[in-house]
Chain A
Amino acid sequence: MRKWTRRAFVGAGTIAGGGFLLGVAGFTFAPGRHSLVSADAGAKGQLTTWITITPDNIVTILIPHCEMGQGTPTALAMMAAEELEADWSLVRVQEAPALDAYANGYIIRTAGGNYVPAVLGRGVDYGAYKLAEWFGFQVTGGSTAVRSTGEYGMRVAGAAAKEMLLTAAALQWGVGAAECTAKGSTVTHAASGRSATFGALAHSAAAQKVPTSPALKNPDRFTIRRTSPARLDIPSKVDGSAKYAIDFTTPGMLYAALEIAPVYGGTLISVDTAPAEAMPGVKKVVKLKEAVAVVADSFWRARRALAALKPEFSDAGHGEVSTASIFDAFDKALGAPPEMPKDSAKVVTADYRAPFLAHATMSPMVCTAKVEADRAEVWTGVQDPLNARSVAAKALGISAENVQLTNFLLGGGFGRGLPFNFDYVDLGVRVAKAMSPIPVKTIWTRENDIQHDYYRGAALSRHAGALDANGTPLAAQSNYTGGGNGEAVFMPYAIAGKIAKEKKAAHPIRLGQWRSVLNSQHGFFKESFIDEMAHAAGKDPFEFRRGLLGDQPRFKAALEKAAALSNWGTPLPKGEGRGIAICESFGTIVSEVVHVAVSPEGRLKVLHVYAAVDCGDVVNLDSATAQVEGGIIFALSAALLSEITIAQGRVVEKNFRDYPMIHIADAPKVTTAFIRSDAQYGGLGEPGVPPLAPALVNAIFAATGIRVRELPIKKTPLKTA
């Protein structure tokens, strides 16, 4: 199997039935170095992105990313179809299979330091992403699909295919290719009035030379991008036909329910399997290193039998760990607040605290596997099918080539399905191995999911800021625990002494990436603190920020846009307030204004959120808007309600009753505006999240004078009467 190298290549060939196939590597930083590949390129796994045109004039675009609700496949197909001049109604998408050929190297490249687009410079050290380790993965994460696969892959693939179709038509008609035009999946020669569909030309187009650097459309000629075509996945999501991992079934399949060591790292010491084995439908009790599984002929029976067991697990020596012990260690590691200049007129200090959080994707983790000797089939839902395949292979002690993995729609991702988070695949294949060759579907309960996540890290951040007599900031510094990176701690403001230092305080809680990653904690810290400095300076928090953004025009424009959307500065009734915040993450700048009402008894109602988003440009306007809306609700639910508590080394919360989510009654109106800047595309899956929590606590302060410095907000009484 070919390894993904820096060499980008484009290739074309015919496929069975006379279709046209074109592939282009994920991006083309070296467009001059290309090579043609043969007609069976797909079978050889040499192409990263595919465009297939069949004689029925249907264009099918293979997408090397998964669908977890962001509309990525639709957006990527739009980018290819735009350059191809395809009729959008004749475009279909298909998710690429889990093969090395589809590895998208972009995020890896970002970390490697080579060929990094300048706009991403600040995000290069994505910290917890451990990007450098991701070589060869097929990831949907880091809000990268449109700005990498789309910009450097899909556009080029579409443009190259169009040129080849034009060439084929010109040859057929004996005219110059430059005299032909493509539009609506048809090539036309205006002078002679001749035309042919892409489908009719596909076969001969495949024989044409692949252009090395096809001309891309000028954005002002876009007809598909910047519009809002319906997402291609939605019809299947309103009639129950969409298939998620939990919906897969295969003849003879059994079901497994799991109990996992409650303390991460703990192992199964003993379990009396007899009570479960005596129950109806039970086939086997499987003992694993860190878990016990009951396999039965229905999931409900498996789960009922599991409840009859009383397994004993070790605590890996972490039985004393608690939320309090972790935050005590954070506090000690931070020490005194950063020292401020001696000539400061005013010094502001504050500590901010962010809890552990679970992803709580709507679909619990599911993995079905059929294991036979040296090979296995796996059916699951992951954000990286290639890494998941490797995890399965490693768990079974077989070669990755012998694992066939089928990926399903994800019932939410938010980072849970990223590489290094595939315990559910690992456990699932080990359970299935014990039942070999019978296929087994292991379904996690919500309790499994909440208690065995890769959590968003808890963090404590200690800030100090100094103002001169005019209220101009002299310094804003912080020490923080819980991890950080250059992008997350970046403050765009013109303040001379801006320093954020990480202090280490290790704990054994298993961590992972949670929508917007480290920006989710640091957005809250830094944008709460600048608000506190504004108030200490006696200035309006919007004007204070604005005055410090003179040399950051994109930030300034986004801030001003959010303020304008919200009618910032106009009077509000008593008990209401507005708060503002602005963060850049994944190349996108988002400013949000939150409008709240707090009753004298302390009942908080979030009325409206206004978001101004500069992600360069948008592909699908409506689904881009949906991503911002969704990010805001996701962040709001966490800011208001969510905390994972640790006691005796284990997670206390179990399900949606004690780890609740907001409902429609709590959901504010959301107004989103996009700013079309000259900047390169930024991500959209995550950047709506970071500014929400600080804008919300800033709004609560404006409404009540109560400064919330700890999330979730429910822990702080907001009573003013």
Chain B
Amino acid sequence: MAITLTVNGNAHSLDVEPEMPLLWALRETLGLTGTKFGCGISACGACTVHLDGRAVRSCTLPISAADGKQVITIEGLAQDGRLHQVQQAWIAHQVPQCGYCQSGMIMAVAGLLAQIPHPTDDEIDAGLTNVCRCGTFARVRAAIHQVAGAEGTAS
């Protein structure tokens, strides 16, 4: 049974087992390797993507759960060649070190800001549980506040 889903605006019909995690379909079937494998148990968030606009951890999400839905990965976060403002803030604050967790971190933050455009520090703490072994958290927080602040002045 084929699974149909839209990834970064492109429709796909995939002939894979319905229980295959979305992560591996993205990486190995569709070649979208920006989404990373970190733990396989939804503990670290390196595999975070957006499913119908909400941040989800794709390493344990069966692809059947994405059937008929819209998936956005790190490769699809930029719009019309313009980096998403979270990505821009990441560059401005020089957030990544090794970078391996950052696709997931950026997707989680973009998802958080879509839900809570102006998060307090407590809301950031509660809403962001991605692991970063290089310890970029202080810059992540500063970058989030920059995006939230910029949105605040724009609206």
Contacts and interface: CB of A to CB of B under 8 A. Distances in A.
Contacts of A240: 32-35, 73-75, 103
Contacts of A36: none
B140 A664 contact: yes
B90 to A, nearest CB: 5
Contacts of B139: 626, 629
Given A240-B74, A656-B43, A667-B138, A69 B97 contact: yes
Contacts of B97: 69-71, 626, 630
Nearest to A665: B125
Contacts of B124: 664
A139 B17 CA distance: 43
Interface residues of B, number: 57
B52 to A, nearest CB: 20
Contacts of B102: 237-238
A630 B134 contact: yes
A336 interface: no
B45 to A, nearest CB: 9
Interface string B90-118: 11001111111111001000000000000
Contacts of A657: 41, 43
Q: Chain B's interface: helix, strand, loop or mixed, by majority? A: loop
A363 B34 contact: no
A361 interface: yes
A: interface residue count bin: 35 or more
B135 A629 contact: yes
Interface string B120-142: 00001110111111111111110
B125 A298 contact: no
A234 B93 CA distance: 10
A230 B98 contact: no
Given A69-B99, A238-B102, A663-B129, A656 B41 contact: yes
Given A663-B128, A664-B141, A362 B135 contact: no
Interface in A340-365: 360-364
Contact of A234 (B41, B77, B96): B96
Contacts of B135: 629-634, 636-637, 667
A630 B95 CA distance: 11
A159 interface: no
A244 B100 contact: yes
Interface in A30-82: 68-71
A71 B94 CA distance: 11
Contacts of A69: 96-99, 134
A358 to B, nearest CB: 11
Given A298-B24, A446-B38, A362 B101 contact: yes
Nearest to B124: A664
A370 to B, nearest CB: 18
B36 interface: yes
A249 B31 contact: yes
Contacts of B96: 69, 233-234, 237-238
A95 interface: no
A253 B33 CA distance: 15
Contacts of A236: 99
A633 B133 CA distance: 8
Interface in A236-251: 236-244, 246-247, 249
Nearest to B63: A300
A360 B38 CA distance: 10
A481 B150 CA distance: 54
B133 to A, nearest CB: 5
Given A70-B97, A413-B98, A634-B135, A363 B36 contact: yes
Contacts of A298: 20, 24, 28-29
Contact of A239 (B29, B87, B136): B87
Contact of B94 (A230, A249, A300, A656): A230
Interface stretch (A180-188, A196-204, A386-394, A404-412): A404-412
B33 to A, nearest CB: 4
B31 A362 contact: no
A675 interface: no
Contacts of B24: 298-300
B40 A445 contact: yes
A622 B28 CA distance: 36
B20 A634 contact: no
A362 B132 contact: yes
A299 B35 CA distance: 15
B134 A412 contact: yes
B133 A362 contact: yes
Interface string B47-79: 000000000000000000000000001110110
Interface of A: 68-71, 228, 230-231, 233-244, 246-247, 249, 255, 280, 298-300, 360-364, 409-414, 443, 445-446, 622-623, 626, 629-634, 636-637, 655-657, 660-661, 663-665, 667, 669-670
19 contacts: A235-B91, A237-B99, A240-B33, A240-B103, A247-B33, A255-B28, A300-B20, A362-B134, A363-B38, A364-B37, A409-B98, A410-B98, A443-B37, A626-B97, A629-B135, A630-B97, A634-B135, A663-B131, A667-B135
Interface of B: 17, 20-21, 24, 28-29, 31-41, 43-44, 46, 73-75, 77-78, 83, 87, 90-91, 94-103, 106, 124-126, 128-141
Given A234-B95, A255-B28, 11 more contacts: A234-B90, A239-B34, A240-B75, A299-B28, A362-B38, A363-B100, A443-B37, A445-B40, A626-B139, A661-B44, A664-B141
